[in-house]
Structure 1
Amino acid sequence: MEIIQLDIVAIRASDTQNNAYVLLLKELRGSRQLPVVIGWCEARSIAIALDGTEENERPLTHDLFKVMTKEHDITVTKIIIHSLKDGIFHSSFFCKSQTHGEIEIDARTSDAIALALRFSCPIFTYEKILDKAGVLVRKNMKYENQKTTEKTVHKKEVKTYGEMKLSELKKLLKKAIESENYEKASKIRDEINKRGNN
């Protein structure tokens, strides 16, 4: 299976869920992005690791993990987002030590990415994941928070995604991507994929 390296593009507050954020991962050699919905704590931990500006009186769990592994000569070498089940990404991180070689450990994607940042290790996914869940983004798009919330858009929509024709969903998906509403795009994509599996 072809493996593709990803980079973090942005973290944005969710328009539809309280205390949820959308983490945008982009393939290094392409224009597809993977929107991953994460919780507030993980978003904060990732943001702290990204800019390193906030000092904590006490270590966060991910920082504690790094200290513990360093004390035992263990390092995290890579992260792989390996599957997508029921709209949830599943990941593993790989640890290496002199005594045990490399081992794979299952983790939530948000935790795996928070660790990747602390260990400066690469984040990967498979081509099949990007094909299924990635959204194609034009190169000239800006990464700014959108003023229009998904709730406002829903008031204008009469049909639910389940009631729409496939052609309508594809048009709506394109509009969601163009307006950088990646959370909405991922929900539409899930409905399209669900129909493809039936």
Structure 2
Amino acid sequence: MILVEVANTFLVNMGKEFVILLKGSSDSRTLPISIGQLEAQSIAIQLNQVSFPRPLTHDLTKNILEKTGSKLIKTEICDLVDETFYAKLIIENNGETIEVDSRPSDAIAMALRFSSPIYVSDKVMEEAGIIIPDETQMEEQSEAQIEEELANITPLETLQRQLKRAIDEEKYEEAAKVRDQIQKLTRSN
């Protein structure tokens, strides 16, 4: 397992999708994970230490765990199957260790609230990790090269991911538009 920290969150695809970057503390690779808007907001709220008068969902979950004597020991991004990341929360309650399945975005939001470590499995980092150049290297590269390294995927792969996500989220109009873009792209090749 590779210890990581949240390096950045940003918008992609014309502001429709958020990506969170998990940077390895002893690894040169960074893991980009697409996350939903609400989860990105929850993570940003915690990173910026914004307080609300009433608990948000992740704060409520933390409160419940604490009130029941549980503690989030760590979060693990443990698998990548069909371009979907899987995570788990490792919780300790009364000396017993409990593993709870989670989406990575929720797991990261919870880890930030508990100040607990976030780990990525070696297998996941090997499959999806990318190397983001440091500032001096970035100055030497063109913007197109930087975008290519950050994306680490072809335009067709990007569209295929967007199509899968749209179908998974039952956004069929969006899926149809992406499908048309894929067809247009494959015809031109």
TM-score bucket (shorter structure): 0.7 to 0.9
Structure 1 position 75 matched with structure 2 position 75? no
Match of 2:152 in 1: 185
What secondary structure does 1:179 align onto?
helix
Distance 1:66 1:26, change over 3 A: same
Aligned ranges 1:1-198 → 2 under 5 Å: 3-16=1-14, 18=16, 20-52=17-49, 54-98=50-94, 101-140=96-135, 175=145, 178-179=146-147, 182=150, 184-186=151-153
TM-score by length of 2: 0.73
TM-score by length of 1: 0.70
Q: State the aligned residue count.
A: 154
- Structure with the higher helix share, 1 or 2: 2
| In 2: Cα distance, 1:106 partner to 1:187 partner | 31
| In 2: Cα distance, 1:63 partner to 1:32 partner | 30
1:186 CA displacement: 4.7
Unaligned runs of 5+ in 2: 159-189
Question: Higher mean Cα deviation, 41-50 or 54-63?
Answer: 54-63
8 A contact 1:13–1:22 mirrored in 2: yes
Distance 1:78 1:189, change over 3 A: farther
| In 1: Cα distance, 2:66 partner to 2:92 partner | 11
Q: Which amino acid aligns with 1:185?
A: N
| In 2: Cα distance, 1:24 partner to 1:55 partner | 23
Q: Which amino acid aligns with 1:49?
A: Q
| In 1: Cα distance, 2:137 partner to 2:57 partner | 33
1:23 CA displacement: 0.2
| In 2: Cα distance, 1:47 partner to 1:75 partner | 22
Greater relative CO, 1 or 2 (CA 8 Å, sep 6+) = 1
Q: Which amino acid aligns with 1:23?
A: I
1:56 CA displacement: 1.8
Q: Which amino acid aligns with 1:89?
A: F
1:187 CA displacement: 5.8
Unaligned runs of 5+ in 1: 154-174, 192-198
Q: Which amino acid aligns with 2:7?
A: V
| CA RMSD of superposed structures (Å) | 2.5
What secondary structure does 1:110 align onto?
helix
Match of 1:172 in 2: none
8 A contact 1:31–1:139 mirrored in 2: no
Distance 1:135 1:88, change over 3 A: same
What secondary structure does 2:58 align onto?
helix
Per-residue Cα deviation, 1:76-107 (whole angstroms, up to 9, x for no partner): 00011111011111000011011x60110000
